[in-house]
Structure 1
Amino acid sequence: MAYELNAAKREEMGTGASRRLRRAGKLPGVIYGANQDAQSIVLEHNPVFYALKEEGFHTGILTLVIDGAKQPVLLRDFQMHPYKQQVMHIDFQRVDANEKMHVKVPLHFVNADVSPAVKLQGGLVSHVMTEVDVRALPGQLPSFIEVDLSGLKAGQSLHLSDLKLPEGVEITALLRGENSTVAAASGHGPAGEEEAAAE
């Protein structure tokens, strides 16, 4: 899903100005990066508040329309009010199409129910990681990475090096030589498999 947010350059600074903006249903923010100066901006609060509930808003390239000019950006940070349903501040990073970026993307686990560990060996599959830091050009950034558990047997685990990555995408931990566990299966092993087959 493509997200487009309207914003305006923010002229008034300071805590008092921010409070006035929030009371008026606005959201203060900042946009930085791509070898340009940081720019304070202001957005409508509610479209951002509801978009933050969607996974794709956190990982995809967003379009920020600032005074009519479109700018591709990534969500980098946001602060919520301690107890109100209110976003207090939001940070975006400008996207340079020719520069690789680091982004955390969620892992989507599939086919656990048909894996030998679960189907034949009465095991459980534990998700050790829920997201992974990747590096890619903006146009190649995935919104998620699928983890296929269909071949997982009891006592086995899947590691970062087992993941199938889209073209141009690198896992930063692997670049550092860290091959962490992504998912692991418990269960009875071969004996459990024989019992299940006998039944």
Structure 2
Amino acid sequence: MTMDLFTLDAEVRTDLGKGASRRLRHANKVPAIVYGAGKEPVSITLAHNKVFRAQEEEAFYSHVLTLNIGKEAVEVVIKDMQRHPFKPQIMHMDFLRVDAKKELNTLVPLHFINEDVVAKTGAIVAHSATEIEVACLPADLPEFIEVDVKDLEIGQTIHLSDIVLPKGVTSVELAKGEDHDQAVVTASAPKGGSDDNGAADEEADSEETTEE
């Protein structure tokens, strides 16, 4: 992904309301708002084609972005994106200003590696989460977090506390206590596996009874 997809040009908008937003969308623009960092919210517009191209990249959602608003470059992260129910159209975006010296909370995608190794054992790998909320300084924000499942065996589960987070990054959920140590990925036996074993056991019991 090229760095220019992390930088978006924006214009301040003063014409607000549903009618104004509808006109902007017809003009291939995306209405948006920037807030946070103790400053007043600012309503802006972005070029839809540039935003749509950028949002196709996974890193766009977990990266500190730069909004060029007039002559000011504002560092932000995406907090919300509203899409059209069926059209390939972005309806509205919310951006949160970031302060280089203050921690931010945001979602980061999980990348599961070595699933093919587990699959060779006959296990089925099921994801309970595809992203986790982390807290860190903007400079430490990872684009993704790897979860290595190569040692996962049937019946085992990897929890949040088992994930090795990058330096300077903490789990928001784990900070709430052990009760929030949610499952992330589990290896289970193929469907029908337990039934087959049960049938085999019943057959063995039947044979033993006959022999007696």
TM-score (norm 1): 0.88
- Partner letter of residue 166 of structure 1? P
Give secondary structure in 1 for the equivalent of 2:173: helix
Q: What is residue 41 of structure 2 aligned with on the other side?
A: 38
Structure 1 or 2, whichever has the larger Rg, is 2
Q: What corresponds to 1:6 in structure 2?
A: 9
Matching residue's letter, 2:47: E
Where do 1:93-112 residues align within 5 Å? 93-112=96-115
**Alignment correspondent of 2:149:** 149
Residues in 2 aligned to 1:68 and 1:141: alpha-carbon distance in whole angstroms: 26
Which residue number in structure 1 is paired with residue 83 of structure 2? 80
Distance 1:82 1:90 in 2: 15
Q: CA RMSD in A?
A: 1.8
For residues 122 and 14 of structure 1, what CA distance do their matches in structure 2 show?
A: 56
| Residue of 169, 181, 186 corresponding to 1:184 | 186
**Deviating runs (4+, > 6 A) in structure 1?**
none
Aligned pairs for 1:128-167 (under 5 A) are: 128-167=128-167
After superposition, what is the alpha-carbon deviation per residue over 1:136-194, rounded to whole angstroms, capped at 9, x for unaligned? 11111111110001111122111111101100100111111221111111237xxxxxx
For 1:140 and 1:186, locate their aligned partners in 2 and report how far apart those are by CA, in whole Å: 34
Structure 1 spans left out of the alignment, 5+ residues: 189-199
**Tell me, what secondary structure is at the counterpart of 1:96?**
coil
SS in 1 for 2:142: coil
Runs of at least 5 residues in structure 2 that lack an aligned partner in the other structure: 194-212
1:25 aligns with 2:25: no
- Name the structure 2 match of 1:170: 170
What TM-score, normalized by structure 2, do the two folds share?
Answer: 0.83
Deviation at 1:106, TM superposition (A): 0.9
Distance 2:143 2:19 in 1: 37
Aligned amino acid, residue 181 of structure 1: A
AA paired with 1:27? Answer: V
Aligned residue pair count? 187
Amino acid at match of 2:182: S
Compute the displacement of 1:107 (Å): 0.7
Equivalent-residue separation in structure 2 for 1:83 and 1:154 (angstroms): 39
Which one-letter code corresponds to 1:179 in the other structure?
Answer: D
SS of the residue 1:91 aligns to: strand
Find the counterpart in structure 1 of residue 66 from structure 2: 63
Secondary structure of 1:74's match? strand
CA distance in structure 2 between the aligned counterparts of 1:128 and 1:122, rounded to whole angstroms: 19
